[in-house]
A and B are shown apart, each in its own frame.
Chain A
Amino acid sequence: MSKQIFICGCEKDGKIEKESVQKLKKTLEEKNIGFTYIEDMCGTILKNPDDLESLYTAKDAVVFGCQARAMQHLVDNSGRRNEELATEYYHIDDERDELISSLESGSGEPLQIKYSDDWKPWYPVIDYERCNGCRKCLNFCLFSVYSVEDDGTVVVSASANCKDMCPACARVCPQNAIIFPKHAESPIDGGEGDGSENEKTDILEQIQNDDVYSVLSARRKNFQVSLLKKDQLQLAEEERRACCSGGEKKEEKKEEKCDCDCNCKDEAAVASCDCDCDCKEGDSNSCCC
């Protein structure tokens, strides 16, 4: 079975480690396995979609890159790849020894698909397995990135209008169906998330039904409490680390530093206060600090 290998390098953003890409390329080259290196799939698929013809038509494709779900829906959204064709998507850091050893060697020279546009391809990709067509994103986006087709499907129709680094629509999506492949966090980047994103509070509902001001006050209070807990947790972790390292616990000596800006500030003499700095008041023997 001959699989066609594609690697996306995410060069316009660095969402994935360059080292990982190099390592994979090297492994494949050493084994004499042919592959196509795509500098930036997000960019090419939008700006020069025809360059990806080999990906659309590959009978059995394996794509390495960022989050599998992100790549899958990016390619699906383009509408160019026949969905009947087999395609596998893997994160570049996924365990893949088995897969690679199953690939045929001698399948050709490495190819490269360039992306030379200045524009950083930042735009949303819709996971239609999740999207329920509620149109929240449509109403939410200030820049008319989304629109609705005649059949009611919400589509990304003006990708270039999307504002670099703004993932706001993905946050309001109740289905977590919007992916920004280049976003730093999961699940917005197409990852599976840690489940906490589904724990939506009912604060919007509360605002509509209860007194707005008390809801907002309560929100602030709760948050402050949670910050406090976070601080404690951090402290606890630091303390644990200190215990594990076995090092002597240093007695923390607070260095009392004066915040005045008089001449004597940094002089050793300050400690004993026998300096002749002019900040000494009258016949008092101590300086301002």
Chain B
Amino acid sequence: MILRKDQINTNLGNALPQTPEKLKQIRDLIRDYAAETEIVPPLQEEEVIFHSGELIKLHPELFLYQKLLAVMINNFAWQNIVAGIPFNRRILLLPKCFSHADCPAEFDELGLLCEQCGRCDLADIISKADDLGYHTIVSEGTTSASVLLSSGQVECVIGVGCLHSFERSFPLAVKEAVPSIAIPLYNNDCKDSKVDEIWLNEILAVRNQSNWNGWIDLDLLKKSVKSWFSKKNLEEFFSYRDETVDIAIDWIEKDGKRWRPLIMTAVYDALTGKSGEYDETIQKLAVSIECFHKASLVHDDIVDEDDERYGKPTLHKEYNMPVALNVGDLMVGYGYQMIAESGAKHIRNLMKVASKAHRDLALGQGEELLWRSNGKFLSKEEIIRIFSNKTSPAFEVALQFGAIQANANGSVQNVIAEYSRALGIAYQINDDLDDFKQKEIASGFNTVQPSLVSSILNEKYPQKMQEWSKRNQEGDASVHSEILHWEETNLAMKEAEEMLSEYKHQAMRSLSKLSSSNLKILLTRLLNRIVPEN
């Protein structure tokens, strides 16, 4: 039976006052409330819910409008930033349900192509927005909004829609930290929709004299950062010609996503509010971070006995083990030297951060190596500690370097420490989960790399895992792919996924203490890029 006659649910808190005056009054109440509370965008969903709860405590008569309050608080948080964004970088999303029943317009995948026939109010709104320079989309449902928001490129969205559609798009807007203002329709039934035009016009025209500089175009920045790793530039920074140095430069120059230098520079840009021009100090710090990273890869490849990286022979395969070990050490030395000679203001602080990270990394690696020789399953807590030690420091160095160079204070550095820890763990859990989503398990699984999913399996089904591990040790290769198909593995993966989202959440929560919205926006976006949603 496919056709059913379910009833429509009506939720409390869904209501909307039906006059512009009342809406204005609520906006004023929020402004008064915000004057006494620090509200730094982007707000997390919990923060928005918290603030709307506080408002209802102050004004109990507003309880009918809980969802509307959440929307309006979020609007308030973004208002100033939106005002600093040029009109031609803003996207106006209008709902198709504005249109007349006899609308002659055609559609493309993004939405309705308004012919401005004048049957409905759309023409009027669109031509106003056009005059200002907006990009306008008239869409049905929330597909267009989702695509735009998740593209990671959109700098600002003004959205008109029903509360339902905002509930859908809000989590995405939060994830991508897109400055946005949402103007709710008076009704939720998808036809003959009306909006408070006074409010809409006010928002559309809102514009500060000065531009907001907080938007960081990560793709563009990546291009600049990559150029610092040209052979010519590296040779200049290394300033010594020798065969070993050449090997090191080649190794650094070839391939690499330059994630860490990118993160560092983005944080620097977010905190200083400028971009485009980078002096030698920043470039040297970026190269030093990459030196540490590339050195750790050389050593990792030796330890893991990997023959290939980026589809090419690893350094100890191309040359030999002693040469590779030595080139790794050389890069570590250069890394520290470059910090020392960078000309940065806070060299001592940079040295402290880099050396602590170096130590933690070795401790994490050490725990893993010692575990390898005993072959026992680790507890979840041990795994998390290894994950945190092995991965978080690399992120932390990059973030802290950017912050320190931008003269950030201790509280920003504390937030970064907390954020990096959660980010590093989330990154590793995600990586571990990816292994389990393959059709076959990679060689060395669970013998070379500790896995959270198998630890969970072992905690829940010790007998099954022991049998598995016994067969594994006896060299029964079939066990590798077999484990992927167990029902139990599925359950363990679910648990790991929950832990993943908890750590992502933790990373997001740590940001609530930041007072710089630019940095808050950047770190929110980075989290999503580094640990993407599956």
Contacts and interface: CB of A to CB of B under 8 A. Distances in A.
Interface in A179-208: 200-201, 203-204, 207-208
B445 interface: no
Interface residues of B, number: 38
Nearest to A141: B141
Interface in B141-174: 141-143, 147-148, 151, 153-154, 162, 164-165, 168
B356 to A, nearest CB: 39
Given A165-B191, A213-B88, A217-B135, A204 B109 contact: yes
A160 B5 CA distance: 6
Nearest to A155: B2
What is the predominant secondary structure among interface residues of chain A facing chain B?
helix
- List the 8 closest pairs (A to B, CB-CB), nearest first: A168-B140, A163-B190, A158-B6, A216-B135, A142-B164, A168-B141, A212-B153, A166-B190
Interface string A168-186: 1101100000000000000
A244 to B, nearest CB: 25
A168 B118 CA distance: 22
B1 interface: yes
28 contacts: A45-B3, A78-B3, A79-B1, A79-B2, A140-B142, A140-B143, A142-B141, A142-B164, A143-B8, A143-B164, A156-B3, A158-B4, A161-B6, A163-B191, A164-B191, A166-B140, A166-B191, A168-B96, A169-B141, A171-B140, A201-B109, A203-B109, A204-B109, A204-B147, A213-B153, A216-B91, A217-B135, A219-B108
Contacts of B1: 78-79
Interface string B98-116: 0001000001111001010
Contact of A165 (B4, B89, B101): B101
A171 B4 CA distance: 23
The CB with the most chain A CB atoms within 10 A, among B3, B5, B142, is that of B3
A79 B1 CA distance: 6
B97 A166 contact: yes
Given A160-B6, A165-B191, A223-B113, A213 B141 contact: no
A46 interface: yes
A49 B141 CA distance: 30
Given A78-B2, A171-B107, A216-B135, A140 B141 contact: yes
A164 B89 CA distance: 35
Contacts of B148: 207, 212
Nearest to A165: B191
A216 B137 CA distance: 9
Nearest to B161: A142
A211 B168 CA distance: 24
A207 B2 contact: no
Given A208-B151, A216-B135, A216-B137, A164 B6 contact: no
B88 to A, nearest CB: 7
B191 A46 contact: no
Contacts of A158: 4, 6
Given A78-B3, A212-B148, A220 B97 contact: no
A150 B153 CA distance: 37
Contacts of A212: 91, 148, 151, 153-154
B528 to A, nearest CB: 15
A207 B152 CA distance: 10
A157 interface: yes
B5 A159 contact: yes
B116 to A, nearest CB: 9
A115 to B, nearest CB: 14
A271 interface: no
B35 to A, nearest CB: 35
B189 interface: yes
A101 B2 CA distance: 36
Contacts of A161: 6, 8
Interface in B176-203: 189-191
Contacts of B6: 157-161
